Chain A
Amino acid sequence: MDAEILGLIAGSLVSLGAYSVLIGDNPISRITENIYMGILGGYIFAVNWDFIRKNALSKVAEGEFVYIIAILLSLMLLGRLKAKYMWISRYPVVLTVGVGLGLAMRTTVMADFLGQIQATVLPLNSFNNIVMVIGTCLTAAYFIFTTQESGVYKYIHTGGRVFLLCAFGVTYGQTVSFRMELVIGRLVAMLDPRVSMITYAFLVIIVVILIYGYKTNKIEWYTGR
């Protein structure tokens, strides 16, 4: 059998196993989840090992001995395995946190702070510009927690909240669409004409197993969520 077709069949089976959790927690979904975690864990481990081998070990072998420090720092992470040596693992964390925070701080000033302020300085000659300026000011003011919510500030706070709710509402609508697109993406592969009959067969088998399990009380039926 063609590897691609075999792959589609395997994909259908495991997808149905994962979707079976919608009926309630059951052995099929638990097995599928554990297989997923195992394969993904192995994949992440292998790819990251390959990255370290290519970008640290190979460089040391080629004479760039400074990368021994990177390898040592990586090994120091193993200090987390025992509480007594936890402090050893702080040094690689210091590297990632220090460099990461430094990189984030230096670029967020221009891109996320000054850049956004600059973009908000607009002429108040159109309704859209007015909405943008007022909305940005009110939302930014909403996050100031040092002022009591009374008097004029109460209206500023409420105005900021309106714009934030607008933002969250838009995100929610977009998220609903996104989640449906995820299901569609999976269903397109499962209902591929080359394997759709096999998908239906797997579905029937899983339904029969679940019905048997619930009827004989081997699988607990959840009555409320």
Chain B
Amino acid sequence: MSDRVYKIQLPIFLTALLGILMVLEHFFPMPDVVTNFNITTRSFVTIVSAAALMLGIIFLTIAHVRTISQKKSEWYYSIFFIVSLLITIGLGLIGIRNESFLWIYNNMTAPIGAALYSLTAFYITSAAYRVFRARNWSAAVLLVCGFIVLMMLIPIGAIIFPPVVPIGEWIRSFPSSAGFRGMIMGTSLGIMGLGVRVFTGRQKEHLGIREERAGGE
């Protein structure tokens, strides 16, 4: 069997088979063997997804270890990463409901994560001041809608200008909703188009094959 069969063609065929069986099961009555196969493959996906996340952490660790061993720029920060990773994994392997494990997560990761995630509030305000201008009609529409909706959301906005609440809710429920509806329909068509392309083997990016190297691996 040539390399190409089991490295490229068989994966493409299996992608299509698994996907098409999933789709057919939903629209047509299928024999029990197909239904049971689909139930099993769906549960396999959860296992493989969990393993993929673990693998991602392994790759990140390898990158940091390389940074330390090769003494790359600012390698000493990676020591903090490795030490905190090992301590957390050690405690987690004892038990994910271990008190120390949960304490570290709740009181170290959670606050830092919340703080990092919330940094954008400051950047968004600074950017709005420097860049958010009604330079043309497009920008004006964006600015006015955003302004009205924010004013609607903050309680003091309704006190400063009471009609902002019904106006904001109308904008959110009708013109904005119509806009998003068009986008959802477009996205849905995109998913279906992508599925057809992947199942017919015209798109192989999920296998790590780019179109310009389609002849090779």
> Do A and B interact directly, with beta carbons closer than 8 Å?
yes
Query: Could you tell me how many residues of chain A have their Cβ less than 8 Å away from some Cβ of chain B?
Result: 116
A132 contacts B174, C-beta separation under 8 Å: yes
B26 beta carbon closer than 8 Å to chain A: yes
Residues of A within 8 A of B118 (CB): 179, 182-183, 185-186
B161 beta carbon closer than 8 Å to chain A: no
A139 contacts B182, C-beta separation under 8 Å: yes
**Cα–Cα distance between A101 and B40 once the two chains are bound (Å):** 16
Residues of B within 8 A of A101 (CB): 15, 19, 22, 191, 194-195, 198-199
B93 beta carbon closer than 8 Å to chain A: yes
Smallest CB–CB gap between B74 and chain A, Å? 7
Q: Which of A47-55, A202-210, A212-220 lies at the interface?
A: A47-55
Identify whether the interface residues of A are mostly helix, strand, loop, or mixed.
Answer: helix
Please give me the residue from chain B that is nearest to A22 by CB atom: B122
Inter-chain contact total with CB atoms closer than 8 Å: 393
B14 contacts A94, C-beta separation under 8 Å: yes
Q: A46-B89, A101-B195, A108-B188 are contacts. A38–B174 as well, Cβ < 8 Å?
A: no
**Cα–Cα distance between A90 and B118 once the two chains are bound (Å):** 37
A201 beta carbon closer than 8 Å to chain B: no
B146 contacts A173, C-beta separation under 8 Å: yes
Residues of B within 8 A of A141 (CB): 182
Q: A14-B111, A101-B19, A140-B185 are contacts. A90–B11 as well, Cβ < 8 Å?
A: yes
Q: A135-B175, A180-B121 are contacts. A18–B116 as well, Cβ < 8 Å?
A: yes
List the interface of chain B (C-beta within 8 A of A): 6-7, 11, 14-23, 25-27, 40-55, 57, 59-61, 74, 77-78, 80-89, 91-93, 96, 101, 103-122, 124-125, 128, 138, 141-150, 152-154, 170-172, 174-189, 191-192, 194-195, 198-199, 206-208, 217
